[in-house]
Structure 1
Amino acid sequence: MKVIVAGFPKTGTKTLNVALTKLGYKVYDAPENTYYLNKDWDKILNKGGWSTEDFKRMYKDVDAVVDMPSCYFWEEIHKAFPDAKIILSLRESDDEWLESLEKQMKTSGGIRAIKLMTFLSPTYRNILIKTGRPASLIMFGMENISSISHRPYNKDMLKLKYRAHNAHVLQNAPPDKLLVYKVTEGWDPLCKFLGVPIPDETFPHKNKAGIIIREMLATHPILIKMKREMLISSAILATSLSIGGFFVYKRGFRNIIKLIINFVQNIFPNNYF
């Protein structure tokens, strides 16, 4: 582990993912964290806690981590890799951060595939239950951060979570290993901090207007796998409903009810209830 991005989501983490990848780092973003390390995060968030050895094992072959849930556990990861450098990515203000978060959640909430994957992709649902929701509760104080797009919530409390996290990083990260950074600053401060040459290309800008989810659904292998599961589950469900409907049509609704009653009576003795 060489680089730990401690900034909250919506502070340019997707841009940093691309930038660090272009600089030659193997990066674990939120999809990789929650897919490849789901069992580990389930243990950390819901069960027996963690040890420094856990993080050493989890990230021994990874160069950089960004986004949730790793950003919240930056300090624990740094204990496992004390030579790693820490980047605290920030927005211009907490109001700007919250506005960006709201826009992202509204955009994501309007994508039908995401809604369907919640129910029809076993992988997506498993990650959501074991890592996504527990991490959201710990970081933001609400189990489903996407709910801010359609339900009333306490904006001041959410901004306080953001400010408290940033203050903790600023107060506790080793100053000689910390870069406070905004992606609008581009390559220069980032490459100087990491001690690498500045690439001869324009600095990336990802997730403009919160469109990253649509892009990832089309290009990211993990999201493509989940979308494929959703399509297969949808096909199986549609086929089952068609067969069931045809069966009901052929046998008659009343006959079906009789069959169900007979089935239950055969399974349970008369005095069971």
Structure 2
Amino acid sequence: MIDVLGVGFGRTGTLSLQAALERLGCGPCHHMDEVLSHRETVPDWIDAAERGTADWDALFRGYRSTVDWPGAFFWRQLAAHHSSSRVILTVRDPEKWYDSVANTLFKAAGSAPPSGVAVNPEAMRVMTMMNLIVWDGVFKGRFADRDHALRIFAEHSEAVRREIPADRLLVFDVAEGWGPLCDFLGVPVPAEEFPRLNDRTAYAEKHRARLAAAMAQAGGRPQAAPATP
């Protein structure tokens, strides 16, 4: 049963929120990193993307919360299915968000395997899932178009704010720390600092390396990451 539904896009502090939710007793928390760690679920996510629905209870069995993609792609379905769940929309400066995705997830997705290296079928399935859910599903194959991606980012935020009742929704910047999150969930503020997981941490590096390896084995996307200032 999902108690907390994170609907923010990847690279909006979802790694930090995952760690925070688990610290607050709302774990295990699902995240794309979980899919990459348990690749036996990849075919189920591909099927969900192709059909637009799934057996959500089976897909999230054992988890009490979810953040990041792939769950965030199905936010409407999940919010309806788990009608009593609290919803958290992680937000970030749009320009910084785009640069972050371009230089991590999208760059990994554009990696190509060395010449002569056989394509790993399992990794190919990971790439298919990422394409169906993120690059084609969310961004309609146009993430490299900065203005288009930023418009999708803004429209997603607007849709969540419009469709989720205010008393069920927390719009959350992880820079705000424990306060708003704990107030929203009705739990005490922990003594330790709020987890700050980003590209300089070992956890994020592991996530990036795992995704890059999966994409490289599968051949990645044919387009390269756009240049950033």
Normalised-by-shorter TM-score class = 0.7 to 0.9
Q: Structure 1 residue runs of 4+, over 6 Å off?
A: none
Task: Tell me if 1:182 matches 2:184.
Answer: no
- Number of equivalenced pairs: 207
3-state SS of 2:11 partner: coil
Residues 3 and 86 in structure 1, CA contact (< 8 A), matched pair in contact too: yes
What amino acid is aligned across from residue 42 of structure 2 in structure 1? Answer: N
Alpha-carbon distance between aligned partners in 2 of 1:119 and 1:27, rounded to the nearest angstrom? 34
**1:254 match:** none
Q: 1:217 to 1:33 in 2, by over 3 A?
A: closer
> What does residue 55 of structure 1 align with?
56
Instruction: Report the 3-state secondary structure (helix = DSSP H, G, I; strand = E; otherwise coil) of the residue aligned with 2:52.
Output: coil
- In structure 1, the partner of 2:95 is 95
Kindly provide the CA deviation profile for residues 64-123 of structure 1, in whole angstroms up to 9, marking residues without a partner as x: 1111121121121111111110000000x321211222232476479x8x856x955432
Aligned to 1:18: 19
Listed as ranges, the matches of 1:107-126 within 5 Å are: 108=108, 115=113, 120-126=119-125
How far apart in 1 are the matches of 2:138 and 2:107? 21
Selected match of 1:39 from 26, 40, 43? 43
Percent identical pairs in the alignment equals 27
Q: 1:57 to 1:161 in 2, by over 3 A?
A: same
Once residues 137 and 217 of structure 1 are traced to their aligned partners in structure 2, the CA distance between those partners, rounded to angstroms, is 20
**Which residue of structure 2 aligns with residue 172 of structure 1?**
163
Q: Which runs of 5+ in 1 are unaligned?
A: 146-152, 231-273
Where relative contact order (Cα < 8 A, 6+ residues apart) is larger, the structure is: 2
Contact 2:43 2:125 in 1 (8 A): no
- In structure 2, relative to structure 1, the CA distance for the partners of 1:183 and 1:191 (3 Å cut) is same
Q: Work out the CA distance in 2 between the residues paired with 1:4 and 1:199.
A: 21
Deviations 1:46-81 (A, max 9, x none): 2x3325xx1133224311111112112112111111
Larger radius of gyration: 1
Given that 1:7 and 1:67 are in contact with CA atoms closer than 8 Å, whether structure 2 keeps it comes out as: yes
SS at match of 1:198: coil
Provide the TM-score with structure 1 as the length reference. 0.67
C-alpha spacing 1:106/1:209, structure 2 compared with 1 (3 Å): farther
